[in-house]
Structure 1
């Protein structure tokens, strides 16, 4: 028998190989790919630009319209928490905004504790990567039709600046309220904008020739989304009647109907050209991911979103005769609308025909013919029309978001060489399952089984609860960075032997108006807790789940439901991770409705309190990990402070992970990694005790 002796270095390599195979992946590896956003295209359709967030280093990339000749044109290095957004082309240059928004005390987010300003600054750079220069502090730049000037927002007012030289920016005028939603007229002589006054808003016009500003057809309503006709003679906009004392996070199925109006620039006369019917669709929904605009002109037709049939669809309004046509029939919602370069085709993202994914479709505005452009097990979104095709982002169950091009009916990757070559290969395909809620309602969940799943083994399990609540988890990596990260962690749990259920509870999107505006959801009764309890019972009844080892985790609204589950169903849920969760609606609601004072609205406050986890906290026994950034602008940090105090008083085990100066959707990559490592460690440790 021959005995083979290996050198020490070879033994070390063999040891490393088997170690890697036994524990091949870390949470960091699941979060390692750069996340793309801000996809846009030049005016001539020949150049693409987008942002890659690579482990916290955010940079602008460009390619030609075929996705070739990819180049990184900025060189920001390090996990500094500085966002890049508002990409827009101006001739052979690209504008972008770098920096962070302020909180209500005027403090800009700075989780990296940088000793330089983190205010938002507008920059411009050539497509070649040369000539980077600062224009000024501001946000939301809009380029003039001749691509020589930008209008932007600074301090709630509208300014202009040249993109061809370094002349000082000019403030156009001063006005009460906050100005926004800037739209240049086709001839570049006028700017339309929205002036937000709280419970009402106006459409304003600034005339460059006369250097004058005025508001059109002022009213007590909310006027939004000004949109110019192709010839610039008409300005269409949406009018939404105010709903007095309307709380956020409660169902609203009907209201005084919204309408579409237009203003004639030649006559100075405004009139209503269409109005929603009473009942279903009468409420205008502006918090869905439709697009930057809610109106699009195509010749003499105005395209708009409407929920008349209980789903958010696109309709075409003929401005000559007032006739309206449905363009996007089917059970599903429309998102990410993009008008083609010749304004004859609408590209859109939808879940029509595949309710738990997203695909790209197109519709011919003139004849209403629809075509599905992408299909299968992938997810596609954010289409932009190039000179010769379509660019977009896409993902799958096993690969995170990445830019791509549609060519000859198939998807081709842009910059495939930038994707990590060592990305985990054991990710699983989740399956949609039906859940019966405690009150009998049917909801859907995405079920992840371990890659080495065996039916005759008992597995620990957990339920993931998304935030929003206007969200939908998909059967693949999500189009939102926040939920792409969450999906990655669910996959990591599955790789470590967990059965994971991502619950699409009532009040989320993707399943129609009645599901989104579910009766008594949120601060009106927390009816969605029935879905959570039903999901827990579903897992308990599975023969492959250890019914004593079921945990919860979620962020924001998902943290709120995690707290509800631990408080209301201690017999089901053994532990939970509550990431920046809401625990008392009366403390959270003023963040989104400044007028609300629970002392002045005792009946609202009573129901809101009864709908909050704090009302059931005496039954809470299971250990919990609280994770929160103390500059959170969505959920007050005091929500975690107060629930920790309450739970400690009754002897509940509380652990915490607090990020100084961090916001709601963590800006630092390192904080995502820390939060997710802590989440897995806590749940795994607590369930192993049982």
Structure 2
């Protein structure tokens, strides 16, 4: 019987899409939403196969490309901002420089790269104009000039390409985060001096700097009151002699309100315990609403929640109560309600909730199997980004009936559920009894025994979800886990202790990382979970991960060769005791902890390492120095261990190019196929 050509092509397409990595990676990812003040015009960024561009929607028109960059060159686009009247748009193209002043250039462009601010009128058909090097553009209230940051100082410039940028003022320290006062006559900013920081006000009228209640403290995150007569800020302790900052530690903090004229400040609230640090890692750690309530994050309930209080510190309330973390929020136009995202009532997803600024009482706005993040208003319209099990992060609009619809449907790429398995929410216990969550990827239509793979995220302040992730890095990791499942592997992505989403106690687990590697037992528990599955060959277990997940990959190969038979290690930390300007420094490792740090590292157990390994590292990594891979590769080669290496010249930690991700995952697939199948 002769097969119809159309049916034959459909079957071929089905087969190739199920086996083709690019089909799993080729989704466009949308991000960086911004709206004009009146909400009539909106813009955002789309990353399509590494080609990053700005998309704009003007009034009732259909969305269209605002820029036309056609190369997968690794140049990020961020920090979009409309002028006050909504007719102009600025954005930043290019990434921040490394410690040597070099901007990311993962495509090794001979002409080099920079980080610069671009400007374009929204109705112009000409390309955007590059007006100056720098970042963090902020329009003046009249829309004729912008403030921006460059070299730790604040500058101003006009929008013409012939304008000459001028430093706004000269002051020691890293001067950042400028904010215009409601009158437009003053600029509020933070001046970081290393072991302490100040809050300053620069007058555009007198051209003088005034300091708000300077102390031996770290003062940060200032916000104006609606009338501009006062401001609020967060105060933490300054750094003492021989003190080192610990990335994982919590700390006390207090909230102060200052008189903008008298320059005096009064503490109105202080944390009952070490409830800060992580709580201030969010986009808006402190807000002052138009209804004169002060909003702030704190972990005093054991979860990262938003609290609200009067400006004198009275009537303090948790307005996002219950089990679950809050990540981002926005205020509505009235200032009476917040819309926030979090994992309350759905621990391995994110949804949007509404809550009263004064009384709390959260109400769900979205639900179901979508992952909804980053709520934001454009005028009175509510927007968010949504992903699902088979569609990456896309901009959505939520109407008053809570219906969620795509803003850019012609660009929305949804992959057939026939090719994507639905990740299963699984739990299992570590050796010490801690319950762990994970996502299981398995295509049960594929018969017979299969190899199992454990995946570990990085961070460690991350959480993998039951669908495409809201981070581009973990978007790609999710896609690769789906791809491995389509090839007949069983993959479990383990949310090990130290990660977010399960409360402060889980995130701050004892003896983690360089102080005992307590989270490693969670990796072993995930492997044993796979070994007990009837579909899995218990003698063919591999593992992979990036950054902190790379560290845990190497730990598995070094400590338990009887379990783990192959591993793919992306830019992992391999020696916590290595004194370098990388991830090890952020943990505040002291000299008397160096021995424990070494014993908590993969390099401490190389005598047991027998399994083959693939190392992947970009040599412009600003998070984990390239030398961490050099050192371990050379040590393993000296032991005649099967070592494969994929080096990405000029790539950074979070690979910026589509080509880089494709190359890495093709190498990883080939490696696992040769070593585990």
Give the structure-2-normalised TM-score: 0.95
Equivalent residue pairs, number: 671
2:179 is matched with 183
1:56 is matched with 50
| Pairing 1:37-56 to 2, within 5 Å after superposition | 37-56=31-50
CA distance in 2, matches of 1:423, 1:243: 54
| Pairing 1:246-257 to 2, within 5 Å after superposition | 251-253=248-250, 255=251, 257=252
Matched, 1:535 2:526: yes
Matched, 1:603 2:592: yes
CA distance in 2, matches of 1:124, 1:340: 28
Q: Which moved more, 1:418-427 or 1:197-206?
A: 418-427
**1:135-156 superposed Cα distances (whole Å, 9 cap, x missing partner):** 2110011223333332110111
1:614 is matched with 603
CA distance 1:194–1:360, change in 2 (3 Å): same
Contact 2:248–2:587 (Cα < 8 Å) also in 1: no
Matched, 1:84 2:77: yes
Contact 2:285–2:297 (Cα < 8 Å) also in 1: no
| Pairing 1:290-689 to 2, within 5 Å after superposition | 290-320=282-312, 322-407=314-399, 408-420=401-413, 425-450=418-443, 452-453=445-446, 457-587=448-578, 590-591=581-582, 601-688=590-677
CA distance 1:158–1:652, change in 2 (3 Å): same
**1:10-33 superposed Cα distances (whole Å, 9 cap, x missing partner):** 87x776554433333311111111
1:73 is matched with 66
1:36 is matched with 30
Contact 1:250–1:522 (Cα < 8 Å) also in 2: no
Contact 1:451–1:494 (Cα < 8 Å) also in 2: no
Per-residue deviation, 1:422:
6.6
Q: For residue 591 of structure 1, give the secondary structure of its aligned residue in structure 2.
A: coil
**1:209-249 superposed Cα distances (whole Å, 9 cap, x missing partner):** 01112322222221111111111111111011146566666
Per-residue deviation, 1:592:
5.3
Contact 2:40–2:378 (Cα < 8 Å) also in 1: yes
Per-residue deviation, 1:320:
3.5
CA distance in 2, matches of 1:341, 1:381: 19
C-alpha RMSD of matched pairs (Å):
2.2
**1:370-429 superposed Cα distances (whole Å, 9 cap, x missing partner):** 221000111100111122321111011121111111122111112111134776742111
Contact 2:27–2:48 (Cα < 8 Å) also in 1: yes
Per-residue deviation, 1:327:
0.3
CA distance in 2, matches of 1:300, 1:549: 60
CA distance 1:596–1:542, change in 2 (3 Å): closer
Gaps of 5+ in 1: none
Q: Which moved more, 1:293-302 or 1:643-652?
A: 293-302
Q: 1:258 aligns with which of 247, 253, 259?
A: 253
2:95 is matched with 100
2:207 is matched with 211
Q: For residue 585 of structure 1, give the secondary structure of its aligned residue in structure 2.
A: coil
Q: Which moved more, 1:305-314 or 1:402-411?
A: 402-411
Q: 1:113 aligns with which of 101, 105, 108?
A: 108
CA distance 1:651–1:164, change in 2 (3 Å): closer
Contact 1:463–1:551 (Cα < 8 Å) also in 2: yes
Give the structure-1-normalised TM-score: 0.93
CA distance in 2, matches of 1:138, 1:510: 35
Contact 1:122–1:136 (Cα < 8 Å) also in 2: yes
CA distance in 2, matches of 1:622, 1:60: 45
Matched, 1:228 2:217: no
Contact 1:65–1:386 (Cα < 8 Å) also in 2: no
Per-residue deviation, 1:597:
9.9
CA distance 1:316–1:597, change in 2 (3 Å): closer
CA distance 1:632–1:649, change in 2 (3 Å): same
CA distance 1:293–1:306, change in 2 (3 Å): closer
Matched, 1:22 2:15: yes
CA distance 1:587–1:410, change in 2 (3 Å): same
Per-residue deviation, 1:286:
5.0
Gaps of 5+ in 2: none
Per-residue deviation, 1:650:
1.1
**1:62-85 superposed Cα distances (whole Å, 9 cap, x missing partner):** 12577x511111111111111111
CA distance in 1, matches of 2:588, 2:285: 33
CA distance in 2, matches of 1:185, 1:547: 64
Per-residue deviation, 1:252:
2.6
Q: Which moved more, 1:557-566 or 1:146-155?
A: 146-155
Per-residue deviation, 1:165:
8.4
1:138 is matched with 134
CA distance in 2, matches of 1:355, 1:259: 30
Q: For residue 571 of structure 1, give the secondary structure of its aligned residue in structure 2.
A: coil
CA distance in 1, matches of 2:588, 2:350: 40
Q: For residue 587 of structure 1, give the secondary structure of its aligned residue in structure 2.
A: coil
